[in-house]
Amino acid sequence: MERTLAIIKPDAVKKRIIGKIVGRIEEEGFGIVRMKLVHLTADEARGFYIVHKDKPFYGSLCEFMSSGPVVIMVLEAEEAIKRWRETMGATDPAKANPGTLRRAYGFSIERNAVHGSDARETAEFEINYFFKK
Ligand code: ATP
Ligand code: MG
């Protein structure tokens, strides 16, 4: 079994689709092993997305991620990292495959409804970032 970090981003929480996204997670067969609703500070968002600190969109991304509550979850499944990213779809909702969460619920390349870890090492960093042992 593998674990990944998933976030329902502020745009999706504002749209009142937490239930739809959690429903999809359960339908896909992921186990939800941790879950919390929090309003991140700008500093917490900056620390979480530190890998993007030199990208032109970093400031705007961190402002967006701290603009309202998010739902943070640890998901568990065989190949959870890859499978959750497939369920989310491409970063840009316009390029995401039909049937993916970002295609269904994303608004823009920034306001794209959900987050998922992209590798074993990042999943470990991200899970420990929000759920300290
Ligand atoms: P995430 O890490 O949130 O799961 P991702 O791995 O698909 O998304 P990354 O390249 O890691 O994409 O970018 C992190 C987040 O930064 C994106 O989900 C999106 O919210 C924002 N982002 C990425 N590229 C852009 C861009 N060109 N303009 C604005 N925001 C962007
Ligand atoms: Mg990423």
Indicate which residue's Cα is closest to atom 2 of ligand 1: 115
CA distance 29 to 116: 16
pLDDT at residue 38 above 90? yes
- Is the CB of 91 inside a 6 Å radius of any atom of ligand 1? yes
Which pLDDT tens digit goes with each residue over 66-95? Answer: 999 999 999 999 999 999 999 999 999 999
Identify the sign of the CA torsion 45, 10, 18, 52: negative
Mean pLDDT of 29-43: 98
Put simply, whether the predicted model's pTM sits higher than 0.85 gets the answer yes
Q: Residue 70's pLDDT is what?
A: 99
Among protein residues, the one whose CA lies closest to atom 15 of ligand 1: 110
Phi, psi of 95 (to 5 degrees): -105, -5
Can you name the CATH fold of 2-130?
A: Alpha-Beta Plaits (3.30.70)
Confirm or reject: Cβ of 46 under 6 Å from ligand 1: no
Catalytic position from the list 61, 115, 123, 127? 115
The mean pLDDT of the chain is: 98
Q: Is the pLDDT of residue 43 over 80?
A: yes
- Say whether pLDDT at 46 is over 80: yes
> 133 pLDDT exceeds 90?
no
Decide if 115 is catalytic.
yes
